[in-house]
Amino acid sequence: MSPDAGHEDLLRDPSLYFNRELSHLDFNFRVLAQAQDPSVPLLERLRYLCISCNNLDEFFEIRAGTLQHAQELGLAPGPDGLVATETLSRIHDRAAELVAQQYRCWNDVLRPALTSTGIRVLHRDGWTEAQEAWLRGYFRDEILPVLSPLGLDPAHPFPKILNKSLNIVVVLEGRDAFGRAGHLAIVRAPRSLPRIIQLPEKLSGGPSDFVFLSAVLSAFVDELFPGMEVKGAYQFRVTRNSELLVDEEEVQNLALALKDELLGRGYMRAVRLEIAEQCPQDIVETLLQNFELPASAVYRINGPVNLNRVTQVYDLVKRPDLKFPPFTPRLPAGVESMFETIADHDMLLHHPFDAFTPVLELIRQSAEDPQVLAIKQTLYRAGKDSPIVEHLIQAARNGKDVTVVVELRARFDEEANIGLADRLQAAGVQVVYGVVGYKTHAKMLLIVRREGAKMRRYVHLGTGNYHSGTARAYTDLGLLTADPDIGHDVHLIFQQISGLAPSLELRRMLQAPFTLHSGMLMRIEREAQNARAGKPASIIAKMNALNEPQVIRALYRASQAGVRVDLIVRGACSLRPGVPGVSDNIHVRSIVGRFLEHSRVYCFENGGEPELFCGSADWLERNLLRRVETGFVILDPRVARRIRSEVLENYLADNVNAWELQADGHYAHVQPNGEAAHSAQLRLLAKHCA
């Protein structure tokens, strides 16, 4: 074995890698910390609590469900050396800790704080006689007519329980009209019922008294079983694996196959059971047996099992003093004539601080401009009632050649995207479903315009989705350019996706699954070589997650060569920083603030001639090796300087919303320590927004 091979083996040591799933889970502790931060407006703290709950739901639906499948298949361990069984065990312990913190935050911190401001989420034992009477009437008029309780006996087996639905298991005593002995019954809350009920102002002296539906069901459930005695009523919720498994190579029509799969998604295999803390163990055992779950899948809950539903209070309460102040994104100059503006210079959009309007305007103007001949676009998530979709439909009606790559497998947007594809096709748009086996995650827009005797390409490339809503809530970057080389590359990528083209020779861009991975590895190694030669060498990269083993090993080698590596990784990070002799030159931080960090930037010092890329891909195995992604170089020096300043240097200076990853896997909250407080997001709001 060569010395280099031996060194490479040392970098494969499992102790140098954090488990991706556990790191993913830990992100939610940082989100929950926002809910516990008294400097954050109170209703925003409530929203952060609900985000952490929703994130945990999705973690079990996707990550835990996938691990469960890997456990059954006996798959080999990952780079961290953990097999699926051990990972699932550790997930249970860590998730139980997170759940305990979430409910302490709700019961001991946020609910009392809300009460002190006049916003009350009332427990059953806190109802006045008038409130209880009104709620009983509400139960009889609004809830009872849509309930279908089911007593469990040989003629009535355990009903199907929908994923994440609210249910009550009722313990009964006595006999019904048919002489059947009562034991257990299940009451399922239809999704048509509101989970948070707002009490009339006349009953509370104010407009901000609320009750959970689960409390109302438990209080009046006896009315469903006349003549029988209710000995106990316990809410529960089951979470199911929601990862769709469609063998694309075996289906004739991907859209039809996904439609069939979606019908059963809500009833796939169970992965978690949440149940009221005081529920007797024998009932828990009955539920576990029905859902085919081990005891380790149980989470006893000190409060409503669907705590995330309290987010409705945020929407219902009109208290701007308890929310983040509103802002108006900056509208760049030149929007009135997008083609002239982009032809003159590249335009950078930094959302949400810059408005999404230029992207919408470019598509709208393209739909109306008689010189525009073709529009091609990828849509991964577009959102409901998307203005982009309306503009594309209008473009097709105006005789433009419009091609849209709709990714049907965008997780939890599958149904919406199938409907979107149908609607576009009905309007005459050519719809492409992407490439079999590879999700199309790239964010690209190409417009072909005749200008005199020549054809010119205008391009938008982004790090985030074409979704007006997330453009107000996520930080993302978008580049608008008429650079001929980039237009050439985007044209070829669209041809490859929609046709059966061979691998491409791109001029300026990198593309997964072909050149993005190798391109990143080459540039990391180049920094290591420059450091050894005494040339300027550094790497700064910002992304959502990092787990690709070859990239991690390349970063370790760069660190060993003396390269300073700064990583801004919002969520899961499998790289272990700060290991002497391996990663002591690598620093990892996570920013959790008002906006969800979503932009991807990769910057290489390149011996004093910095090379900066933006892209749609995180440094994850799936993004680099199993998806269609793009990395686009920033050619305009002015744009590159702005990205370095606003996105990299600004975030590395953050000492308010930053968390630094330690060698032991713990994230330490960065403190100003006598320096002036620097919040990267607040700086950008102050700079760009009104």
**Would you mind telling me the total number of residues written for the chain in this entry?**
690
Give pLDDT, residue 4.
64
- Domain match, 451 and 499 both: yes
Q: Give the tokens for residue 165.
A: 């639905």
- Domain match, 503 and 515 both: no
> What is d(CA 362, CA 368) in angstroms, rounded to the nearest whole number?
10
Asked if residue 587 lies in contact with residue 660, where contact means CB atoms within 8 angstroms, the answer is yes
Q: Give the tokens for residue 360.
A: 């919408």
Q: Give the tokens for residue 387.
A: 């203005």
Sign of the alpha-carbon dihedral angle for 332, 633, 537, 13:
positive
User: Above pLDDT 70, what percent of the chain?
Assistant: 92
503 within domain boundaries: yes
First vs last C-alpha separation in the chain: 63
From the list 24, 351, 441, 598, the catalytic residue is: 441
Q: What is the mean pLDDT of the chain?
A: 90
Active site residue 488: no
Domain of 594, CATH number, reads 3.30.870.10
Which of 507, 542, 569 represents a domain boundary (last residue)? Answer: 507
Those residues whose C-beta lies under 8 Å from the C-beta of residue 1, and which sit 6 or more positions away, are 9
**Diameter of the chain by CA atoms?**
90
Strands 120-121 and 401-406, by their bridges, are unpaired
- Domain match, 491 and 586 both: no
Give 501's pLDDT tier (boundaries 50, 70, 90): low
Residue ranges making up the domain that contains 430: 349-507
Lowest average pLDDT, out of 137-146, 266-275, 437-446, 518-527, goes to: 266-275
Q: Tell me the average pLDDT across 157-162.
A: 81
Give pLDDT, residue 187.
93
> What is d(CA 670, CA 663) in angstroms, rounded to the nearest whole number?
15
Which of 458, 488, 507 represents a domain boundary (last residue)? Answer: 507
Long-range interactions of 636-639: CB distance < 8 A, separation 24+? 636/345, 636/346, 636/481, 638/345, 638/346, 639/346, 639/348, 639/479
> What is d(CA 68, CA 240) in angstroms, rounded to the nearest whole number?
11
Q: Identify the H or E element spanning 564.
A: strand 564-569
Residue 385: CB atoms within 10 Å:
9
Give pLDDT, residue 263.
54
- Domain match, 493 and 574 both: no
Q: Tell me the average pLDDT across 606-617.
A: 97
- Domain match, 122 and 228 both: yes
H runs (alpha helix) in 120-220: 129-138, 213-220
- Domain match, 295 and 361 both: no
Asked if residue 209 lies in contact with residue 203, where contact means CB atoms within 8 angstroms, the answer is yes
Q: Given a cut of 50, is residue 1 above it in pLDDT?
A: no
Q: Side chain identity at 67, as an amino acid letter?
A: L
Measured at the CA of 81, the angle between CA 76 and CA 85, to 5 degrees, comes to 65
Exposure of 107 by Cβ count < 10 A (0-12 exposed, 13-18 middle, 19+ buried)? middle
Query: What phi, psi does 198 have (nearest 5°)?
Result: -95, 125
* Upstream peptide bond of 352 is cis (omega within 30 degrees of 0): yes
Give pLDDT, residue 2.
44
Lowest average pLDDT, out of 165-174, 237-246, 383-392, 664-673, goes to: 237-246
From the list 471, 465, 369, 361, the residue with the least C-alpha distance to 420 is 465
281 within domain boundaries: yes
Q: Give the tokens for residue 678.
A: 């620097």
Higher pLDDT, 690 or 601: 601
From the list 582, 611, 619, 605, the residue with the least C-alpha distance to 529 is 605
Q: Given a cut of 70, is residue 679 above it in pLDDT?
A: yes
Q: Tell me the average pLDDT across 455-460.
A: 97
- The string over 130-167, giving b where at least 16 C-beta atoms fall within 10 Å of a residue's C-beta and e elsewhere, is ebeebbeebbeeebeeebebebbeeeeeeeebbbbbbb
Asked if residue 659 lies in contact with residue 669, where contact means CB atoms within 8 angstroms, the answer is yes
334 within domain boundaries: no
333 within domain boundaries: no
Give 677's pLDDT tier (boundaries 50, 70, 90): very high
> What is d(CA 212, CA 139) in angstroms, rounded to the nearest whole number?
12
Axis-axis angle for helices 516-532, 549-560 (nearest 10): 10
- The percent of the chain in helix, strand and coil, each rounded to the nearest 5, is 45, 20, 35
Q: Give the tokens for residue 76.
A: 């080999």
DSSP structure class, residue 627 = E
Asked if residue 24 lies in contact with residue 572, where contact means CB atoms within 8 angstroms, the answer is yes
Task: Dump strand ranges (E) for 252-400.
Answer: 270-276, 298-301, 347-351, 372-379
H runs (alpha helix) in 477-609: 484-498, 516-532, 549-560
Asked if residue 491 lies in contact with residue 446, where contact means CB atoms within 8 angstroms, the answer is yes
Number of domains, the chain: 3
595 within domain boundaries: yes
> What is d(CA 440, CA 402) in angstroms, rounded to the nearest whole number?
18
- Count CA within 13 A, CB hemisphere, residue 33: 17
- Domain match, 494 and 528 both: no
337 within domain boundaries: no
Q: What is the CA radius of gyration of the chain?
A: 27
- Domain match, 36 and 107 both: yes
Q: Tell me the average pLDDT across 497-507.
A: 81
pLDDT in tens, 86-132: 999 999 999 999 999 999 999 999 999 999 999 999 999 889 999 99
Q: Side chain identity at 529, as an amino acid letter?
A: Q
- Domain match, 294 and 280 both: yes
Q: Given a cut of 50, is residue 46 above it in pLDDT?
A: yes
Query: What phi, psi does 117 have (nearest 5°)?
Result: -100, 5
Query: What phi, psi does 153 have (nearest 5°)?
Result: -155, 180
- Domain match, 534 and 481 both: no
Domain of 188, CATH number, reads 3.30.1840.10
Q: Give the tokens for residue 199.
A: 């009490």
Task: Give the pTM.
Answer: 0.93
Exposure of 319 by Cβ count < 10 A (0-12 exposed, 13-18 middle, 19+ buried)? middle
328 within domain boundaries: no
- Domain match, 500 and 563 both: no
> What is d(CA 641, CA 29) in angstroms, rounded to the nearest whole number?
34
From the list 494, 498, 521, the residue with the least C-alpha distance to 506 is 494
Give 203's pLDDT tier (boundaries 50, 70, 90): confident
**In the beta sheet, which residues pair with residue 272?**
239
327 within domain boundaries: no
> What is d(CA 66, CA 71) in angstroms, rounded to the nearest whole number?
9
Q: Given a cut of 60, is residue 3 above it in pLDDT?
A: no
Axis-axis angle for helices 84-104, 65-73 (nearest 10): 160
- Count CA within 13 A, CB hemisphere, residue 584: 7
Q: Given a cut of 70, is residue 180 above it in pLDDT?
A: no
Q: Tell me the average pLDDT across 610-632.
A: 96
Query: What phi, psi does 628 have (nearest 5°)?
Result: -90, 110
Q: Given a cut of 70, is residue 252 above it in pLDDT?
A: no
Give 689's pLDDT tier (boundaries 50, 70, 90): confident
Which of 322, 339, 360 represents a domain boundary (last residue)? Answer: 322
> What is d(CA 266, CA 165) in angstroms, rounded to the nearest whole number?
9
Give pLDDT, residue 251.
43
- Domain match, 245 and 310 both: yes
Those residues whose C-beta lies under 8 Å from the C-beta of residue 155, and which sit 6 or more positions away, are none
> What is d(CA 444, CA 459) in angstroms, rounded to the nearest whole number?
7
pLDDT in tens, 509-526: 999 999 999 999 999 999
pLDDT in tens, 285-334: 999 999 999 999 999 999 999 999 999 999 999 999 999 999 999 999 99
Q: Tell me the average pLDDT across 482-511.
A: 90
Q: Give the tokens for residue 89.
A: 């065990």
Give pLDDT, residue 414.
67
